[in-house]
Amino acid sequence: MRSIGILSLAAICAIFTCCKQQEGGLMYYTLADPYQTVTVTPPPSGEAPRNIIFMIGDGMGLEQISCAWVLNRGRLNIDNFPVVGLSRTYCTNDLITDSAAGGTALAVGQKTAIDHVGCDPEGKPLYSMLVTAQQAGKKTGCVTVCHLADATPCDFCCHNESRYDSDDLIADYAECGVDFIAGGGRDYFGPKRKDGRDIVAEMKAKGYNYASDEQQLMAAPLPVLGLMSDDNLPIAAQRGDLFRHMASRCLDLLSEASGERGFVAMIEGSCIDDWLHANRIDLAMEETLDFDRTIGDVLQWAEKDGHTLVIVTADHSTGALTLQEGSIEEGRIGVEFGNDSHNGIAVPYYVWGPGSEAFGGILENEELGRLIASFIK
């Protein structure tokens, strides 16, 4: 579980006035302002994809998606995906995985042990689909809502037996070669380091263009290191469209630079998981809905491009959430949490675009990762 951070008094007051309440053991939440979803048409089947966009909603199981669907009055951007399947999430030493082991299985196509990031159960480095893409001459990107020392982005860029060895993990970014890196975590790149290293300075020396806010990010050319906050990005209600703009900037830059070779990008809606751990249905749903809005942006981008495979899934589900009451017309849900941790229920995956006909059915998470990587050529 990540550190959620400290919210301002004004933000806390706003959160508690947004229709969250307890009645009869259930937690209720209503979405006051639903958003319009997009409608996209997949390109003809039978062609190999040039680009791959892999989107991960951390902790986002079918129960979270179902709640978000009710809140937005029975429509989500994720409804556009024509191919849907299930991914089993257990790891090598536990039925209930964490984001380190679950994300590694998706990133590298091999299951591993709890807390292991980009390495096998014995600690041997494993290399993600971003490395496979680099070897194929493609551009690569990694965009996340959380700080970059967290498990999922590290699963794609770093290697360590412990997801909590943040100094070592962050140092790996200087060697990973990913062309567009954006998320939170300025403190982890320098001020909080025990070894005194300034990883931002080291990456600048390697040619990275550093951005510390949205304006700088929108102007920076590749390669990019964007650190948008000291820790995680602000909560969805406070950050506006920052995450969506980060994702769009990543796709535009990678596409322009890669040409016919194409690119592979991982985009994570990280903090869904944080607020499920905290049993905060309001904040968890706001993060889920912001992730779905980002999915809509990505699908529209992919439709226009015509050569892009888009996959959405989760590393695991969190909170043992049950949807017990609600109203589609009112955008209201009544839920109960069974725990404040992960569970072992299979999670859905969604596929859109060229190559999607190869997917569908029940897959192990590492099988899903290997199948995605098989299109990187």
**Could you tell me the residue range of the domain that residue 219 belongs to?**
46-373
Residue 171 lies in a domain: yes
pLDDT for 117 equals 98
31: enclosing H helix or E strand? none
Rounded to an integer, what distance in angstroms lies between the CA atom of residue 37 and that of residue 268? Answer: 20
Largest CA distance in the chain: 58
Q: Are 115 and 122 in contact (CB under 8 A)?
A: no
CA distance 149 to 231: 9
Q: What angle do CA 193, 195, 201 make, to 5 degrees?
A: 70
- Assess if residue 25 is contained within a domain: no
Label residues 290-310 b or e (16+ Cβ within 10 Å = b).
bbbbbbbbbbbbbbebebbbb
| Residue 25 confidence (pLDDT) | 84
* 348 prior amide bond cis, ω within 30: no
Q: Does the residue 307 lie in any domain?
A: yes
Q: Which of 35, 4, 33, 8 shows the shortest CA–CA distance to 18?
A: 33
Asked if residue 195 is part of any domain, the answer here is yes
Non-local CB neighbours of 138 within 8 Å, separated by 6+ positions: 258, 261, 262, 263, 264, 376
Non-local (6+) Cβ contacts of 116 within 8 A are 100, 101, 104, 123, 160, 161, 162, 163
CA distance 2 to 129: 25
Residue 128 included in any domain? yes
Q: What is the pLDDT of residue 22?
A: 64
3-state SS, residue 270: coil
**Contact call for residues 329 and 70 (beta carbons, < 8 A):** no
Residue 341, both tokens: 């941790």
* Alpha carbon distance 104, 155 (integer Å): 5
Instruction: Give the pTM.
Output: 0.94
Residue pair 135/153 in contact (Cβ under 8 Å)? The answer is no
Asked if 113 contacts 121 with a C-beta cutoff of 8 angstroms, the reply is yes
Q: What is the CATH number of the domain that holds 123?
A: 3.40.720.10
Could you tell me if residue 35 is inside a domain?
no
Give the Cα separation of 177 and 208 in Å (integer).
10
> What is the per-residue pLDDT for 323?
98
Residue 10: inside a domain: no
Kindly give the confidence (pLDDT) of every residue in the chain, 377 residues in length, as a single tens digit, with 9 standing for 90 and above: 443 443 433 343 344 334 455 666 899 999 999 999 999 998 887 889 999 999 999 999 999 999 999 999 999 999 999 999 999 999 999 999 999 999 999 999 999 999 999 999 999 999 999 999 999 999 999 999 999 999 999 999 999 999 999 999 999 999 999 999 999 999 999 978 999 999 999 999 999 999 999 999 999 999 999 999 999 999 999 999 999 999 999 999 999 999 999 999 999 999 999 999 999 999 999 999 999 999 999 999 999 999 999 999 999 999 999 999 999 999 999 999 999 999 999 999 999 999 999 999 999 999 999 999 999 99
Task: Collect all residues with Cβ–Cβ distance below 8 Å to 87 and sequence separation of at least 6.
Answer: 313, 314, 346, 347, 348, 349, 362, 363, 364, 365, 368
* C-alpha distances in Å from residue 261, one per residue of 140, 306, 377: 11, 14, 9
* Amino acid found at 259: G
How many domains does the chain fold into? 1
CA 32 to chain centre: 25
pLDDT at 24: 66
Quick one: tokens of 224?
Answer: 């990019």
Per-residue model confidence (pLDDT) at position 23:
61
Per DSSP, the chain holds a count of helices (H) and strands (E) of: 13, 16
Looking at the DSSP assignment, which residues form a beta bridge with residue 21?
28
Q: Is residue 193 part of a domain?
A: yes
